[in-house]
Each structure stands twice: as C-alpha cells, then as structure tokens.
C-alpha cells in the first residue's frame, strides 16, 4: 500500500464528516479531524440529521454517551447515508457494559449497513459473540485470537472490522493486516479510540473506492502521530501529550508516512 496518496486526498478534499460521537470528547474529535485536514460537523437532532448525513462524505456513529433519542437519530442518519452511498462507521463504545448498549447496537445493525466497525478487543469480541473481559468501556484480557475475531465479525456483517490495541488488527474478512504504529501514551488519554474512529471516516470519505486501504492508512497515520508526539521533548505525560499529538497529525509528512509505517499482512 502507498499511504501518502490517501493522506493527500484528505488534505486536498477536506471531507465533511458527520459525527454523532461521545460527548465527553467531542471537541477532541473535532480537533483531530481539523488537524488531518477534514471538516467536522456534530449533529444529533432528528429534525436535521437526515439533511446533515446527506451532504457529508462519511457518517460516524459512536455510542459512548448514547441516549434513546440519539439512537433514533443514528438510525435516520445511517439509513440516509446508505441510501446515498455514503460510508458509515460504527464505534460501539462499551457495548458489553449494559443491556441498553447491546440493544442499541442490535437495532443499528438491523437498520444500517456499516462500512467499518472499529473498537477495542472487548467491544469487537462482544459483537462477534466471543467471551472477553471488560471493565466499563475498557478492554481487559481474552484468550481468543484478535485476528480470528476481526475476520469473524467482518464476514458476519459484510464490512471492515478494526480492533485497536497495542497492535491494531484490520480485516475485511478476506484481507487482514496488523499495524504496529503507536505509543502507550495514546491509551492514557480519554477518547483516543473515538478520535481514531472519526479519523477513519475522513480517510474513507476522501477515498471511498478503497475503504480497506483507507482504514489501514488512518491507523498508520494515527499511530505515527502518536509516536512522534511521545518522543517530543515537551511531552512529560498525558496532559502534555494530547496537544502535541494534534500538532503532529497536522504536520504529518506525506512523504515519510510510507517509510514510517509498521504493517504486517496476515491474509490476502
């Protein structure tokens, strides 16, 4: 994969990404998209989500702070996107934590065809029907192969599945790769997964004919920015890491991204 052209497409096209995201980190999500060159919009009201989704290049549905009303709006936005051929991304935050979250995701699956499902190991395992420990919205430990889980869910839902962690696993059911870019500090800031989900929306939105490659590139770019931020002399912990991380996304060198990518093909 040649990653630089996917990054260039985002910066040149400035894709509009409709985020129905986790309210805890909505500002961080918006700043992540702005840093990479995309345009964020946050809209939740049933009265407008159909119109917003229809003019967007990608729709990202994140259940981090879900309510019944927002879930109903998500169905409208997702169905509108499906009708218009616009990619839809699901971030099933904490799906295994409560029965309500499970019911919401099941309703979304019944109503919407997703382009990508992105989450941590526990979230994706829950959706795949595989036992995995979790604590609230955080993944703990599991015995199953993360590659097998990603491939299983990708085939069941006919979409791309990405599992984030120390090593990211991305599969469309046929092709599977792992991405090793990143730094441990990324797991110590709230909402890093939410930011990544919206970033994948920007990449898919700018490169709609190559969604798998776009998702892989988003993970690579996100991880490289994390590595570069963590190595900055001004970074001493999570509090100083996040603003530098956004700066590194903003200044990411498209000529260097292929050289710095840490990618291992598993299948396909």
SS (H, E, C) 40-66: EEECCCCCCHHHHHHHCCEEEEECCCC
pLDDT at residue 139, as a whole number: 45
Predicted local distance difference test score (pLDDT) of residue 138:
44
Distances (CA, A) of 45 to 68, 71, 74, 210: 12, 10, 9, 31
Total domain count for the chain?
1
The better pLDDT of the pair 186, 254 is held by: 186
Q: Which residues of 164-197 are buried (b: 16+ CB within 10 A; e: fewer)?
A: beebbbbbbbebbbbbebbbebbbebebbbbbbb
What percent of the chain has a predicted confidence (pLDDT) above 70?
95
pLDDT at 247 exceeding the cut of 80:
yes
Q: How far apart are the first and last CA of the chain?
A: 13
Mean pLDDT of 170-191: 95
Confidence check: pLDDT of 133 > 60 = no
Strand bridging mode 138-139 / 160-164: unpaired
137 pLDDT band, cuts 50/70/90, is very low
- Give the per-residue pLDDT at 2: 83
Q: Determine the average pLDDT of the residues in 252-262.
A: 90
Its domain, for residue 175, covers 4-267
Give me the chain's average pLDDT, please. Answer: 93
Place of tokens 């598993």: 266
pLDDT tens for each residue of 39-76: 999 999 999 999 999 999 999 999 999 999 999 999 99
In the prediction, which pLDDT does 255 show?
82
Q: Looking at the predicted structure, is the pLDDT value of residue 140 above 50?
A: no
Q: Structure tokens of 62? A: 């994140």
Mean per-residue pLDDT for 95-105?
96
pLDDT at 82 over 90: yes
User: Can you give the pLDDT at residue 145?
Assistant: 87
Q: What is the CATH number of the domain that holds 155?
A: 3.40.1190.20
* Model pLDDT, residue 131: 73
pLDDT in tens, 191-241: 999 999 999 999 999 999 999 999 999 999 999 999 999 999 999 999 999
Q: What is the pTM of this model?
A: 0.94
Rounded average pLDDT over 8-31: 96
């Amino acid at each position: 994969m040649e990653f630089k052209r996917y990054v260039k497409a985002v910066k040149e096209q400035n894709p509009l990404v409709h985020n129905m995201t986790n309210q805890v980190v909505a500002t961080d999500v918006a700043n992540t998209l702005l840093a990479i060159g995309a345009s964020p919009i946050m809209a939740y009201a049933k009265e407008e989500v159909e119109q917003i989704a229809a003019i967007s290049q990608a729709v990202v549905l994140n259940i981090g702070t879900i309510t019944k009303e927002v879930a109903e709006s998500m169905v409208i936005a997702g169905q509108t996107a499906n009708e218009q051929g616009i990619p839809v991304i699901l971030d099933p935050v904490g799906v295994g934590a409560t029965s309500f979250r499970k019911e919401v995701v099941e309703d979304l699956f019944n109503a919407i065809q997703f382009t990508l499902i992105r989450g941590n190991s526990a979230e994706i395992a829950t959706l795949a029907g595989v036992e995995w420990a979790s604590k609230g919205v955080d993944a703990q430990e599991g015995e199953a192969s993360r590659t097998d889980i990603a491939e299983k869910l990708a085939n069941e839902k006919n979409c791309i599945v990405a599992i984030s962690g120390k090593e990211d696993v991305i599969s469309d059911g046929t092709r599977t790769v792992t991405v090793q870019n990143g730094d441990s500090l990324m797991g110590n800031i709230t909402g890093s997964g939410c930011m990544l989900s919206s970033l994948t929306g920007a990449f898919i939105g700018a490169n709609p004919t190559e969604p798998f490659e776009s998702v892989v590139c988003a993970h690579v770019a996100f991880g490289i920015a994390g590595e570069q931020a963590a190595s900055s002399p001004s970074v001493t912990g999570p509090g100083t890491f996040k603003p530098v991380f956004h700066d590194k996304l903003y200044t990411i060198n498209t000529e260097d991204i292929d050289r710095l990518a840490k990618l291992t093909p598993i299948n396909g």
